[in-house]
Structure 1
């Protein structure tokens, strides 16, 4: 369950985000990745590097206001940061030891969705291909 639940959370995230119409879906996801980039600021354990990382993800988020690719890059950066925190022992949720590992598994799922352009997955839920539903929007 340690490995399956984060994947399911990533898929659920993409499904819920699919309820938001473009271009608001992209802009909202840019804000989400910016927030994720600051998640470790209050106790991540990497000192000043936490600020540098937050600045890098904030840049990706800013560029992500107009580009799904940058949002995907931001989530991939966060994946790497999660792995470092899991190895060092400073989890994203202090009382949940493997929370950074879970985040590192979930984030690439979200990143792949973003790198595909954040398509609406509601067509899949309704039994249609994603491309067919995207044409309806």
Structure 2
């Protein structure tokens, strides 16, 4: 259950976010990855590296306002940061020892969806290509 629940949370996140219309869906996801980038800031246990990671995540999220690719990269960066915290730092939820591990399992599910350009629920079900929305990193 420790490994299945985070996958389920990632799938639920994708399902709910896929209900939003573009370009709002992309922009909301950019804001979400920015928030995830600052999740450990107040006690992650990795000192000044917490600020450096938050700055990097903020830049990637800003680029994500116009690019699904950057949002996916942001979630993958956060996955790596979760692993670092699971191994050496403090958990993302202070009273849940394996919460960073759970987050590291959940985040790649979201990243994969983002790297597919965040298809809508209809596109997911029908396996259609996402509606053409300008993604500056695609060109």
Normalised to the residue count of structure 2, the TM-score between the two structures is 0.90
Q: Which has the higher helix share?
A: 1
Ranges in structure 1 where 5+ consecutive residues have no aligned partner: none
TM-score by length of 1: 0.91
Residue equivalent to 1:131: 128
1:24 aligns with 2:21: no
User: 1:76-104 deviations in whole A, cap 9, x for unaligned?
Assistant: 00000000100115100000000000000
Structure 1 vs Structure 2 CA RMSD: 1.6
1:27-54 deviations in whole A, cap 9, x for unaligned? 0000000000000000001111000000
| In structure 1, C-alpha distance between the alignment counterparts of 2:116 and 2:13, rounded to whole Å | 15
Contact 1:26-1:68 at 8 Å conserved across structures: yes
Contact 2:46 2:89 in 1 (8 A): no
Change (3 A) 1:21 1:74: same
Assess if the C-alpha contact under 8 Å between 1:122 and 1:133 holds in 2: no
